[in-house]
């Protein structure tokens, strides 16, 4: 009786194994792009395990053109190892994944955990390896408090089209021929060493919370999207010649010493450089800098004829900020959407209140304005007076929304 049970169980096991093999075989018969799509949706550790399914799958994983070693990847290693063994295990895992990889690595994502600076040589080796694998998209995010200096050869692949680097030290290669196909460059909390960047194909440039901006020289004649936010300095001289700019986002950090900024930049001169501009984001500190000279009531129409979307943000309702906003509304006849983000704290400026109560302001006409949204609205006197003015002067207004949003979410993530 016991023998019969064992035979039945053995038969059941064989049937189950055969069924599982059949399932694997059916997956193996899928087109290669379908199999790679399945692998791409798995965590990298699970994707690596597919190599044991069959001889065919062994090489599918090894040839998958995207390697994503993100926070989820190292967090799992951290959970399964004591702190004393984590660093060694992490380096060994990455070595095993990368150095057994076959074929090109078109996308490489590396989240750097908290490593000792002595272990950064391993990262150098990984980047050298990837740079020889026809990489087109490179994303580095340093989560360690120890700064990591990205070696120049990390950017040596001539096919690189997208670079995102966070919390690292950045120095561009001195040699010509780098970045020839680069279209997107995103640098956040990066410290620059002297770098000259010739970026003929660059479409989008983002510099956020960076240090040593004055050491960065940029030539990007094809640039269409420019984001400069909370950097330690602001130098627009490299960008005012970019005639194809469509979207500009400038946020001047409160810590930047305004006396070091270019005094010759005014609202008129700045917008006169960007005839194709459609979307404009300017923070209160930068608006006040632009208003250091005289603020015209209206700009030349041809300077802002393409502008359709205006977002002033971190606005304290200083009189200079409001004057700049109204100047743009008066000048940009095609401007249809206005979104104002107030600062966390709004100052009470008697000059602003007096200015907004001037009878002459009611004679203005914001011809194209159709939508107004006021975020982080607090109901201050200055805000209410501005709302009254917008409602009165916007004859084609369709919607006016006041929101008590608590956090600035522009370009979040």
Residues facing 342 on adjacent strands: 315
Q: What is the pLDDT of residue 50?
A: 60
Q: What is the pLDDT of residue 80?
A: 84
Q: What is the pLDDT of residue 49?
A: 60
Q: What is the pLDDT of residue 8?
A: 47
Give the confidence band of 100 by pLDDT, cuts at 50, 70, 90.
confident
Domain total in the chain: 1
pLDDT for 138-178, tens place per residue? 999 999 888 899 999 999 999 999 999 999 999 888 767 78
Q: 63 or 200, which is more confident? A: 200
Alpha-carbon distance values, 328 to 321, 333, 389 (Å): 11, 9, 14
* CATH code of 323's domain: 3.80.10
Domain assignment of residue 142, yes or no: no
Model's pTM, two decimal places? 0.86
- Between the ranges 44-53, 166-175, 228-237, where is the mean pLDDT highest? 228-237
Domain assignment of residue 346, yes or no: yes
Q: What is the pLDDT of residue 209?
A: 95
Rounded to the nearest angstrom, the gap between the alpha carbon of residue 389 and the centroid of all alpha carbons in its chain is: 35
Alpha-carbon distance values, 342 to 46, 271, 280, 311 (Å): 46, 23, 16, 11
CA distance 76 to 68: 14
State the number of CA atoms in the 13 A half-sphere of 272 facing the CB.
Answer: 8
3-state secondary structure of 206: strand
Q: What is the pLDDT of residue 295?
A: 78
Token pair for residue 217?
């020289």
Domain assignment of residue 251, yes or no: yes
Rounded to the nearest angstrom, the gap between the alpha carbon of residue 118 and the centroid of all alpha carbons in its chain is: 30
Domain assignment of residue 233, yes or no: yes
Nearest residue to 338 (alpha-carbon basis) of 284, 400, 261: 400
Whether residue 70 is predicted with pLDDT greater than 60 in this model: the reply is: yes
Token pair for residue 77?
């290693």
Domain assignment of residue 209, yes or no: no
Domain assignment of residue 50, yes or no: no
Whether residue 6 is predicted with pLDDT greater than 60 in this model: the reply is: no
pLDDT for 246-258, tens place per residue? 999 999 987 665 5
Structural domain for 254, as ranges: 224-413
The H or E element spanning position 140 is strand 137-142
Domain assignment of residue 1, yes or no: no
Q: What is the pLDDT of residue 383?
A: 97
Q: What is the pLDDT of residue 250?
A: 96
Give the confidence band of 115 by pLDDT, cuts at 50, 70, 90.
confident
Over the chain, what is the mean pLDDT?
A: 86
């Amino acid at each position: 009786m016991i023998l019969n049970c064992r035979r039945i169980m053995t038969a059941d096991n064989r049937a189950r194994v055969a069924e599982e093999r059949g399932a694997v075989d059916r997956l193996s018969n899928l087109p290669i792009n379908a199999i790679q799509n399945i692998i791409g949706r798995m965590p990298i550790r699970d994707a690596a395990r597919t190599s044991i399914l069959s001889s065919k799958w062994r090489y599918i994983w090894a040839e998958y053109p995207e390697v994503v070693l993100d926070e989820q990847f190292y967090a799992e290693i951290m959970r399964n190892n004591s702190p004393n063994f984590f660093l060694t295990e992490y380096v060994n895992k990455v070595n095993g994944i990368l150095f057994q990889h076959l074929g090109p690595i078109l996308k490489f994502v590396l989240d750097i955990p908290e490593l000792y600076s002595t272990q950064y040589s391993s990262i150098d080796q990984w980047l050298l390896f990837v740079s020889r694998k026809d990489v087109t998209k490179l994303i580095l995010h340093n989560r360690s408090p120890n700064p990591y200096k990205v070696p120049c050869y990390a950017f040596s692949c001539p096919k690189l089209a997208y670079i995102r680097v966070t919390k690292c030290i950045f120095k561009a290669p001195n040699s010509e021929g780098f970045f020839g196909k680069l279209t997107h460059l995103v640098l956040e909390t990066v410290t620059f060493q002297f770098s000259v960047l010739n970026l003929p194909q660059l479409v989008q440039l983002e510099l956020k919370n960076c240090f040593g901006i004055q050491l960065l020289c940029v030539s990007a004649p094809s640039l269409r999207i420019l984001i400069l936010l909370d950097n330690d300095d602001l130098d627009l001289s490299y960008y005012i010649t970019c005639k194809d700019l469509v979207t500009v986002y400038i946020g001047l950090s409160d810590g930047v010493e305004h006396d070091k900024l270019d005094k010759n930049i005014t609202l008129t001169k700045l917008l006169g450089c960007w005839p194709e501009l459609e979307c404009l984001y300017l923070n209160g500190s930068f608006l006040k800098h632009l208003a250091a000279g005289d603020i015209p009531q209206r700009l030349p129409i041809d300077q802002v004829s393409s502008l359709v979307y205006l977002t002033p943000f971190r606005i304290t309702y200083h009189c200079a900020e409001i004057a700049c906003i109204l100047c743009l509304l008066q000048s940009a006849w095609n401007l249809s959407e206005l979104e104002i983000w107030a600062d966390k704290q709004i100052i009470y400026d008697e000059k602003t209140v007096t200015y907004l109560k001037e009878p002459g302001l009611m004679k203005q006409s914001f011809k194209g304005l159709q939508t107004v949204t006021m975020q982080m609205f607090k109901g201050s006197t200055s805000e209410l007076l501005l709302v009254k003015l917008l409602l009165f002067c916007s004859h084609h207004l369709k919607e006016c929304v006041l929101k008590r949003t608590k956090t600035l979410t522009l370009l979040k993530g």
